[in-house]
Each structure stands twice: as C-alpha cells, then as structure tokens.
C-alpha cells in the first residue's frame, strides 16, 4: 500500500505543479494492488478537479464491448473466441488498439492543455500493447497522458499483467 501511495503522491505532485507538461506518464504498480490503486487514483482525479486543473477522464472499462457492439460483432467475437480462433484474436487486438488511440486523440482534439487521465486500463488486457499505443500517438497530441499500468518492470521491459508489453516506451515511469 505504501508503494501505491508513494506513486500516487508523485503523480499528484507532478500534475498539480505542472512539473510534467506534455508527454506520457506510466504509473506502474503491482497488479495485485489494483483495487487500492483505483481508490487512490480516483482521489487524485477528484483533487485535480477541485484544484481547477483541466482534465479529461478516459474510461476504458467497456471499450472492447462497445467497439464490438457498435460494429454488430459482439456475438460473433464471443463465438470465435470460444473456438480459439487466432485470426479473431489478432483482429480484436487490432480493433482495440485503434479504438484506444482514437479515444485518446478525440479527447485531445482542440484542447492541448487538458490532462488526459486513463482509467480501467486493465480492462484492455490482453488486447492492447501500451508501447504500441504510445508510439501511435507520439507527435500527434501534446497533452499530458496518464496511463495506469498494472504490471512489473524488468529493466527496460514492462510486463502488463504478466505479459511482455514492450520496452521502447516514450513515457516517463512513475
């Protein structure tokens, strides 16, 4: 719990003081601390709002289902996933990656000063690579982007919920 508090305090400090303007911040925390992290992160969000900081909260909790439902693919995706179709998994991962990038770009559009705070990033497991997401938005937004990252660090490599996510991150790590 102390590790989570330390990370959230550092995040809070950087966002309130403007010490980290622009770019991405990965807040890396142990996956088993997900509930503690969520509670503390919500407090940070409420404090930023109370302080008048311009923020946009991007909730990824239902992104996968909403994207499939919008395309009338939800039932088909369930069926193909149950069959273990590797093509379906690749297609779904590609869809989720594109939709997450689009959600971030849409929130940033027209307001480069708003801090983009992602929520429920674990809900995108195993369909997303955050290193690929950061690469896709690099140079396209100037906002500060905060990504909670339930995972572990192993040198330059990060593991998102136990799966290697990449190592070429264009983000500061907290």
Instruction: Taking each helix axis as running N to C, give the angle between helix 74-82 and helix 86-108, from 0 to 180 degrees, rounded to the nearest 10.
Output: 140
- pTM of the prediction? 0.87
Compute CA distances 61 → 9, 27, 29, 122, whole Å: 24, 17, 18, 8
3-state secondary structure of 119: strand
- Specify the pLDDT at position 63: 92
**47 falls in which pLDDT band (50, 70, 90)?**
very high
DSSP label at residue 35: H
Pairing label, strands 144-154, 157-160: antiparallel
Tell me the average pLDDT of the chain: 86
Positions of E strands within 30-72: 55-59
- Specify the pLDDT at position 7: 93
Q: Are 147 and 156 in contact (CB under 8 A)?
A: no
Of 96, 167, 101, which Cα lies nearest the Cα of 139?
101
């Amino acid at each position: 719990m102390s590790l989570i508090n330390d990370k959230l305090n550092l995040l809070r400090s950087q966002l309130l003081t403007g010490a980290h303007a622009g770019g991405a911040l990965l807040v890396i925390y142990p996956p088993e601390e997900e509930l503690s992290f969520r509670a503390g992160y919500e407090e940070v969000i409420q404090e930023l709002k109370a302080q008048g900081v311009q923020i946009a909260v991007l909730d990824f909790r239902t992104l996968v289902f909403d994207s499939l439902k919008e395309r009338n693919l939800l039932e088909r995706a369930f069926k193909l996933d149950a069959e273990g179709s590797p093509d379906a998994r690749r297609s779904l991962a590609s869809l989720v990656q594109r939709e997450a990038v689009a959600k971030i770009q849409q929130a940033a559009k027209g307001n480069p000063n708003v801090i983009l705070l992602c929520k429920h990033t674990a809900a995108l497991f195993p369909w997303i690579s955050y290193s690929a997401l950061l690469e896709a938005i690099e140079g396209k937004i100037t906002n500060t982007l905060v990504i909670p990252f339930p995972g572990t660090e192993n040198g330059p490599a990060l593991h998102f919920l136990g799966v290697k996510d990449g190592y070429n991150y264009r983000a500061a790590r907290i």
